[in-house]
Structure 1
Amino acid sequence: MHMVIYQRVQALLQEIPPSLPFSTSPEIRAQCRTLIKQAKEQGRQTLTHSETAQVLEAYGIPTAPSVYLTNPDEALARAEEIPGTKALKVVHEGNCRPYRYRKHPHKISAGLLQDLDTPEQVAEGVRQLGEKVAEKFPEYAIREYCLQPMQRGKHSMQVCAGITRDPVFGPLIVFGIGGYKVNVLADRQVALPPLNMSLAADVVGRTHAASLIREHSADPERDIQHLCQMLVKLSQMASDLSDLRGLEVNPLLLNRDGMVAVDFAMDLGTPSRFAIMPYPEELREWVTLKNGWQVEVRPIRAEDAHLITTFHRQLSEESIRFRYFHNKSNLTQRDLSILSHINYDRQMAFIAEYLGDDGSKEMLGVVRVWNDPDNIRTEFSVIIRDDLQGLGIGSLLMKKMIDYCTNIGTLEMIGKIMVDNHPMRALMKHLGFKCRYNMEEQVIDAVLRLNEPESEWQRHRLESMPD
């Protein structure tokens, strides 16, 4: 069984995940970080219900329509903004933390009134909940009251999803059956971020919730697809917002109309190290080439395998020989997996990507580095499409990689160039590399010092490494 599990994991690692249309932007990350910063400046370790809703909506996770109130008079004036029968929840310091029902699962619905119809009932509900909190939890300050439409009559299934932390492995993504019996049913699976669609499908597929969806849903494939997309978004949220300690979305209703988050909570903490380094969104940038094209230079992703395949077909035999030192006409599934699934902690690959007017994407070039375990030396390779030579793409990618390696503290960058690869030798000379002939391997070694050793062991390691 160890061999069976090993083979399954190896196959999973080589899967090429489908692309996900959603990706975060600097504006989204800045908006959410501002909310978190303001909460911390106020001395809070939790976000309110309304603030958490803003973060979820920013990441494309739909939340139930809500009106947030502070007193009975406001409730009387604004209750009609929510049509039909309503539910009212009080949000205080004691119920803003995720997974708070771990020790007392029966208290998950405390502070909730349902089936309110008129503005007068809503205003009276605000008074009742305020008095209840003041009596039972006098140490807690009330943050707000949340008014939502009752979610009934659509044969909804309740699931739970979120983010938590493990003391050893750091952030974890959580998924399973939700509702007030979540801790009793214990249908909960966890995964290490970052997630892609294939890994998210594996997490969802291991739960009893997936079996119920396949048996009772009118469109199980659509529902499971929506859940996988949501888990990938939660994974991205965990990567982007380093101060996020925990997030719980429970219940998350799944029905014929789609998916909607009804109740949620988020707390904050100090940044935690990831077991697997997430996708470095902050390294993406847009540049203009000499021909006027707007090109995005960004780290490679597992979903880029199809771009790599098309790019490789457009290379000449000579370009392939210069890159791989032998003719490699086709890339196998394993080749694509190795080239697109990289460990950002030990490797980096930047691609130049052009977005056509019809929405199609083209890969123009790629530069890669492989770091040694002590981050002393990194070996690079770069390749540009033959029909795009002379546009400065190679120089652009190399400068991006040199800046990256310098910033992470790498001491030296080295690359091996075939003797007859004159364009690459000229580029290395232009970038300040020292080129020397390697008689043993009969190639040109291009070497660039990026940082000076800060300690004696680094100096010794650098001097003892083979040229």
Structure 2
Amino acid sequence: GRYLLDDPDTKAILDAYGIPTVPTRAAATPDEAVAMAAEIGYPVAVKILSPDVVQKSDVGGVSLDLDTPDAVRAATERMARRLAELKPDARLDGFIVQAMARNPEAHELIAGAATDPVFGPVILFGQGGLAVEAVNDHAVALPPLNTVLARDLIARTRVARQLAGYRNHPAADLDAIAAVLVQVARLIAEVPEIVELDINPLLADANGAVVLDARMRIAMADRAGNALDRLAIRPYPVELEEVVPWQGGTILLRPIRPEDGAAHVAFFNALTPDDVRYRMFVRVRELQPAQLARFTQIDYDREMAFIATRTGPDGHPETLAVARVVADPDNMSAEFAVTVRSDLKGKGLGVMLMNKLIAYCRARGTREIVGEALPQNAPVIGLVKKLGFTVGPVDEDEGVRKFWLELR
């Protein structure tokens, strides 16, 4: 029967998703608050617990740096009186007792989620604190997030410049902030009952990030449908990952992710100039940031890019080959491209990825797969013939050979 979860309940859910929170307890009476303070350890902060009060400080409902049982008892009794005077109709469910996390070097941030009528769940990040509305510094992104997208979200706010460090203030732990945003996005994606989440403040400094206050609004969800249908962007399809034998070992075939950016640059740099021209149809010396984002940050509903990857000699993942397909809005036709690292051609990677790509398109109901190549690109033309594609003559106007495969 409740649709607004208070701070302790919300933090319990955040804890379950590995989001760091300040130790927090709920107490029904001043005596319980004293007991909870002893359990947490002094000093503590005490706040009123009322479903009818959103901004606790507006009614004198916050006391900080309490370091004795008498101070806790006096603060709770004073809060109860103030609430009765200022909002006599407000319910008082008790008090929140939490460990003090005062750090003058920390940044007060806001993180959370809301539900947009068009795009569904959206993730919010920006500068937080009591003046959050007046500052109005925030950016939004669509879930799911990963580290790359979370850091992009952070970078689109004004507070990002402060988080990078200034004067004698060290830089905040951006990885820790990004990790919170990634887990918030995961929580929102996986639990459709959550329609609003407000974390304010999220304290962040050079040592990490921790949630001080949080609240959550929930609604009944239709479990009969697919919870992922709420999302504007399809999450990473982990079910498409596949470990296969290759060259006496194993490699992983999987969809590409934004985190593959560095490996994709190394893959591109390992291609010969002719292979780059065969793939791009023009000579390109290096990938531009916009091109890299276009190749690695994809909409899995409209396109798919499978990579063959393994752990390289330096311990980092290396990309060996890529097969990509982009469907039209009606999913009638999908255009593909395939590229194998120049030093690994003729070892079966192209056939392996293309078979996976064809099976994926067939499962999605795509009617046909089409592609084109320069006439000199004999390896790709030979590959598609082996896979059953129909190969047309050279198009005199465009200077390419086109090929297609009908999917039954």
| TM-score for both structures, normalised by structure 1 | 0.65
Per-residue deviation, 1:83? 1.7
Alpha carbons 1:47, 1:267 under 8 Å: kept:
yes
Q: Which moved more, 1:146-155 or 1:117-126?
A: 117-126
Q: Which amino acid aligns with 1:218?
A: H
> Is this contact kept in 2: 1:289–1:391, CA < 8 A?
no
Matched to 1:449, the amino acid is L
The structure with the largest helix share of the pair is 1
Q: Structure 1 residues 430, 239: CA separation in 2 closer, same or farther (over 3 Å shift)? A: farther
> What is the alpha-carbon distance in structure 1 between the residues aligned to residue 252 and residue 73 of structure 2?
53
Q: Contact 2:204–2:210 at 8 Å: present in 1 too?
A: yes
SS class of match (1:252): strand
In the other structure, the counterpart of 1:40 is none
Residue pair 1:438, 1:445 contacting (<8 A) in 2 also? no
Q: TM-score by structure 2 length?
A: 0.73
1:86-122 CA deviation, whole Å, 9 max, x = no partner?
2244656x26xxxx74xxx566667655555456876
| CA distance in 2 between partners of 1:382 and 1:125 (Å) | 68
Name the structure 2 match of 1:84: 42
The code of the aligned residue for 1:364 comes to L
Query: Which residue does the alignment assign to 2:169?
Result: 218
Q: Distance in 1 between matches of 2:237 and 2:381?
A: 31
Q: Using the alignment, how far apart are the partners of 1:225 and 1:217 within structure 2?
A: 21
Runs of 5+ unmatched residues, structure 2: 222-226
Establish whether residue 193 from structure 1 lines up as the match of residue 149 from structure 2: no
**Is 1:160 aligned with 2:110?**
yes
Q: Which residue of 2 aligns with 1:175?
A: 125
Cross-structure match for 1:311: 267
How many residue pairs align between the two structures? 389
In 2, Cα distance between equivalents of 1:293 and 1:145: 59
Indicate which of 328, 336, 339 corresponds to 1:383: 339
Q: Which position in structure 1 is the counterpart of 2:390?
A: 435
Aligned residue runs from structure 1 range 60-459, under 5 A: 61-67=19-25, 79-89=37-47, 94=51, 101=54, 105=55, 112=62, 114-117=64-67, 136-137=89-90, 146-152=96-102, 154=104, 156-183=106-133, 185-193=134-142, 196=149, 199-205=152-158, 207=159, 210=161, 218-219=169-170, 221-222=171-172, 227=177, 230-231=180-181, 234-235=184-185, 237-239=187-189, 241-255=191-205, 257-269=207-219, 273=230, 277=233, 279-283=235-239, 285-291=241-247, 293-316=249-272, 319-320=275-276, 322-324=278-280, 328=283, 330-333=285-288, 335-356=291-312, 358-389=314-345, 392-416=348-372, 424=380, 428=384, 433-438=388-393, 440=395, 443=401, 445-449=403-407
- Whether the 8 Å contact between 1:172 and 1:190 is mirrored in structure 2 is no
Shift of 1:260: 1.9
Partner SS, residue 121 of structure 2: strand
RMSD, aligned CA: 4.4
CA positional deviation for 1:449: 1.5
**Maintained 8 Å contact 1:204/1:224:** no
Give the partner amino acid of 1:180.
L
Tell me how far apart the structure 2 counterparts of residues 449 and 159 of structure 1 sit (CA, whole Å): 51
Classify 1:124/1:368 alpha carbon distance in 2 versus 1 (closer, same or farther; 3 Å).
same
**What is the identity, as a one-letter code, of the residue corresponding to 1:65?**
P
One-letter amino acid matched to 1:192: A
SS at match of 1:204: coil
The 1:85–1:240 alpha-carbon spacing in structure 2 relative to 1, beyond 3 Å, is same
Percent of aligned positions that are identical:
32
Q: Is the partner of 1:289 in helix, strand or coil?
A: strand
The CA deviation at 1:423 is 5.7
Shift of 1:354: 1.4
Task: Supply the distance in 2 between the matched residues of 1:246 and 1:407 (Cα, whole angstroms).
Answer: 35
Asked if the contact 2:110–2:125 (Cα under 8 Å) also holds between the matched residues in 1, the reply is yes
Structure-2 change in CA distance of 1:215 and 1:291 (3 Å): closer
Aligned partners of 1:66 and 1:148 also within 8 Å? yes
Q: Measured at CA, do residues 393 and 73 of structure 1 come closer, stay the same or move farther in structure 2, by a change above 3 Å?
A: farther
- Tell me how far apart the structure 1 counterparts of residues 23 and 89 of structure 2 sit (CA, whole Å): 29
| CA distance 1:358–1:312, change in 2 (3 Å) | closer
The question of whether the paired residues in 2 share the 8 Å contact of 1:226 and 1:259 is answered with yes
State the SS of the aligned residue for 1:259. strand
Any gaps of 5 or more consecutive residues in structure 1? 1-42, 451-467
Residues in 2 aligned to 1:389 and 1:130: alpha-carbon distance in whole angstroms: 75
**Partner SS for 1:397:** helix
Aligned equivalents of 1:417, 1:255: Cα separation in 2 = 52
Give 1 or 2: higher strand fraction: 2
Report how far residue 395 of structure 1 moved. Answer: 3.9
